[in-house]
Chains A and B, each alone.
Chain A
Amino acid sequence: MSAAEQTAEAKKFNMDTVANAAATPDTELPWAELGLKQNEFEEVVKVLGRRPTAAELAMYSVMWSEHCSYKSSKNHLRQFGDKVTEEMKKDMLVGIGENAGVTNLGDGWAVTFKIESHNSPTMIEPYQGAATGIGGIVRDIISMGARPVAVMDPLRFGAIDHPDTARVIHGAVAGIGGYGNSLGLPNIGGEVVFDSVYQGNPLVNALAVGIMRHEDIRLANASGLGNKVVLFGARTGGDGIGGASILSSESFDDTKPSKRPAVQVGDPFAEKVLIECCLELFKGSLVEGIQDLGAAGISCATSELASNGDGGMDIELTSVLLRDPSLTPGEILMSESQERMMAVVSPENVEAFEAVMDKWAVEYSWLGEVTDTNRLVIKWDGEVIVDVDPRTVAHDGPLYDRPYARPQWQDKLQADTFKASEAGKNLPATGEELKAALVELMSSPNMCSKSWVTNQYDRYVGGNTALASPDDAGVIRVDEETGMGVALATDANGRYTFLDPYHGAQLALAESYRNVATSGAVPLAVSDCLNFGSPEDPDVMWQLAEAIRGLSDACMELGVPVTGGNVSLYNQTGATPIHPTPVVAMLGKFDDVARRTPSGWRADADGQAIYLLGTTFDELDGSEFANIRGHLGGLPPKVDLAAEKTLGAILINASRDGMIDSAHDLSEGGLGAALGEMALRYGVGARVALDDLCERDGVDAFTALFSESQARAVVAVPRSEEVRFNDMATARRFPVVRLGVVDAASTSLEVQGQFDLDLNELSEAHEATLPKYFG
């Protein structure tokens, strides 16, 4: 008898079969250690009509975790499906609930994209946590039948000068680069934010986008009696066991043992091979249904495939290829080993399937087949250890209507404003003071250049990247013949959302909409990643409920549907939650990416007129300027979705008709930061004046430069297009003011009557911050 056989024999000896479970109802089970609550365990017993086996308990515990079941958020998330018009559904080919949503691009093309969190694993083990975040979201995209074409990563870390921040950022950025670069996927943007609220709970969100022909769309379901179920890719090991249930569904606590074993370890090479191998399977139409293995591993894949299919599934668990032969059946079911996929293959395609696996040297094993029993039956060496209705595992988990209430401190917070019009703030007023403030702002942790991060990512691979960070949106060409392509932007503002969750979430949506439109693309669809604290805290639950309500209302008004996303809860240290951080990813479409608008002017734009679109109010609450002064209070900038739509239409039309050569949206840091970034983009100077703006909007120069009023953008217009551009804005009754001109002979940003800021000085300050802290 071989060692493996001996181990299998030994395991069989202790096997907790369904028959055994029925015969020993009083056996103590470690449901609490696996993360189940008492009422949830009792519900499992009720569903099964007996106590669960050890393997069943493992499955329910991971699938009913917050991470997999959305049990605290589902009641609220429904609004994303409810607040949708027929018009919004028009281009949606696959909506919420599948691995990722799919949107029609026309000409037979479709695009799929999704954003997900990998926050807790990154805190524990930054490199692998962030790397496997990329790996997991990319597999979601593959399982829709698409070729992944780009990734993005919004990142939030603790205070820039906290010693632990260097540990996390070095690991996370190297992990995202190490994994994503090895997959041949350009990283086209994201965000980097520093705030002490994320000290113990960094946010690493990962987005992937893929493209496919309509006929290649694949869904995660196991249908067709007698079809074979196959597991392929990496072997199953002991990594990531209980990752979803233990790691992502509880708050960290210093008194408990290290959770490092719950973090998965990635192998990007295996994933790259898996991508190519899956695309070859799709090309040959060799799979009926496919599902990636992410959170909850085989438990999730088998129960979701069976639950979405038209029958049941029979699986022999000893057929799973193992990295570690000592794993128990429960561990095999819970393992979150990376780079694995499960597929359903019809018998006549088995041979062709195996030929593709052999070509790419990918290991596979046939685990079982689709049945007509409506049961998911898992055997260990022939003995039944799981016999469940797959729906009860995958879809009918517990649902909580958690209590929530507006926090008592919210009124006081909102009353503590930072208005320029109020005296006593010692705000910059003279030209020299304004100049110093702008340099300080643009070298502050959140506004400084992020090239230290983005230079560690490959943004060129694939040859289809038309725009990437630091431009407003990442742009990828889809069709090399027509130039049709997509734009993507991710945005969030935790401070705004902390001040007012309903409007803060809408501001994230508005900014992502504006960013995509600024690049020249028509916004089409949304994916969101909702990062919040513990849902068991009524304050946090209120933030979550308000953010979802705000986001879904605004999606309806802007006419862009949510096609998928992810909720990450329990992002808190002790009783202190992070700022509520709903990250919104917006997808837009270009008929031809040649028309994309970069975020700065080049030397050949000399003499072009610089215009500001939109109205500037006294809105400094929650701003980056207030942030560097250590102030957080008041109300975030006013949301005006009608203005956002008009601004978007102006920017898109102006791009399509060649009326603008560059454009940049105004967001964090206001007009001052936008002008600075546009000038720094290609190192070309400009001369502007604020007088007309200040007079029209009734604000002072400080407010004009640093207010974060929404629905604004700066554009550079060729002289020949000025009349047409002004006419378009006027016809839409949208405020527009001419600020000045691009000056290629100048190497400074001159704000007339205020200051003359040397671009080299600004660039040095802007670039120096991250290297200063992180080397």
Chain B
Amino acid sequence: MSATELPLIGDYSTPVPELNGARIGVITFPGTLDDRDAARAIRLTGAEAVSLWHADHDLQNVDAVVIPGGFSYGDYLRAGAIARFAPMMSNIIDAANSDAKLPVLGICNGFQILTESHLLPGSMVKNDHLKFLCRDQVLRVENNTTAWTNQYGLGEEITIVLKNQDGQYVADEKTLDALEAEGRVAFSYVGWNPNGSRRNIAGITNAAGNVVGLMPHPEHAVEAGFGPDHTGTDGLGFFTSVLTHLVGGQK
């Protein structure tokens, strides 16, 4: 069964054989909202979703980590500013920077936490139109060599869910130039720029390609019937990409 033919409802407890045993952590902070969605996306691709608690220190031997969306600690300061100091984040920062290069995906608030953690450059400020915006968003894949994007085609357009209040990606010109020059823009917005992000940037990667952050939500586009316009499953590629990466199948 191909990824797009997953049953609308059904038994997805049977792992894909060759990926059996892949363990992907999903961190939960107080105020995290999309942790169960991220765990579902991971299970749908056949891996095991491992729940990580922000206050714990043990990474539980996970092979990769997803930092899901939400409003960690209420985000009453800057989004992600407090979450960055959670004990579990120290482990994740070390593991991402280590020789093992733990794959880390930050979605929405997770992206904000990754920039606060300096795993990724730049920052997010309030949308230029000042409102929370939820919509089905078209993105273009600008880099398909990372741990989280290798199953997409270069230039492929995918539709996943965008929903945020503080989604405007900003960085200084030098950083933006470098990101573009080094191919570290992973995703860009197609058509209307929904939040005023610099250079239409929707997501970026670190130089090594193991850490990817983006504002839109691939985990809300993994099951036909419950995704963009209730049909889309374009987000599955993130999770099949990391599994492919883990078994050494990276392009």
Contacts and interface: CB of A to CB of B under 8 A. Distances in A.
Interface string A452-482: 0011111111111111000000000100111
A361 interface: yes
A503 to B, nearest CB: 35
Contact-residue size bin, chain B (C-beta under 8 Å from the other chain):
35 or more
A454 B73 CA distance: 25
A474 to B, nearest CB: 12
Interface in A172-192: 174, 177-178, 181-184
Interface stretch (A267-275, A558-566, A646-654): A267-275
A184 B37 CA distance: 11
B103 to A, nearest CB: 22
A467 B230 contact: yes
Interface in B1-47: 8-11, 30-31, 33-34, 36-37, 40
Interface in A82-119: none
A209 to B, nearest CB: 17
Interface stretch (A59-67, A298-306, A397-405, A592-600): A592-600
A773 interface: no
A459 B132 CA distance: 12
A398 B135 CA distance: 50
A178 B134 CA distance: 12
B41 to A, nearest CB: 8
Nearest to A681: B229
A735 interface: no
A272 B30 CA distance: 8
B129 to A, nearest CB: 8
A402 B170 CA distance: 62
A448 B163 CA distance: 23
B48 interface: no
A592 B36 CA distance: 21
Contacts, number: 96
A224 interface: no
A483 interface: yes
B31 A460 contact: no
Interface stretch (B57-65, B112-120, B173-181, B220-228): B220-228
A360 B225 CA distance: 34
Interface string B161-176: 1010100000000000
A463 B226 contact: yes
A178 B34 contact: no
Nearest to A485: B9
A160 to B, nearest CB: 18
Contacts of A272: 30-31, 33, 71
Contacts of A598: 230
Nearest to B75: A269
Interface in A414-463: 454-463
B220 A460 contact: yes
A684 to B, nearest CB: 13
Nearest to B74: A269
Interface in B140-189: 161, 163, 165
Nearest to B221: A460
A182 B74 contact: yes
A455 B135 contact: yes
Contacts of B70: 184
Contacts of A682: 229
Nearest to A173: B131
Contacts of B227: 460
A174 B131 contact: yes
Interface in B207-230: 217, 219-220, 222-223, 225-227, 229-230
Given A182-B31, A455-B134, A466 B230 contact: yes
Nearest to B135: A455
B163 A269 contact: no
B223 A463 contact: yes
Given A174-B131, A178-B132, A594-B8, A460 B74 contact: no
B219 to A, nearest CB: 7
A459 to B, nearest CB: 6
B9 A594 contact: yes
A269 B71 CA distance: 8
B69 to A, nearest CB: 8
A177 B132 contact: yes
A276 B30 CA distance: 9
Interface string A590-624: 00111000100000000000000000000000000
A463 B230 contact: no
A467 B10 CA distance: 19
Contacts of A592: 9
B133 interface: yes
Contact of A456 (B37, B74, B134, B225): B134
A463 B9 contact: no
B40 A463 contact: yes
A462 B195 CA distance: 23
Interface string B54-90: 0000000000000000110111100000000000000
Interface of B: 8-11, 30-31, 33-34, 36-37, 40, 70-71, 73-76, 131-135, 161, 163, 165, 217, 219-220, 222-223, 225-227, 229-230
Closest 3 CB pairs of A and B: A269-B74, A184-B33, A483-B9
14 contacts: A178-B165, A183-B33, A184-B70, A267-B74, A268-B71, A269-B31, A269-B74, A455-B134, A457-B132, A458-B163, A461-B220, A463-B40, A481-B10, A594-B9
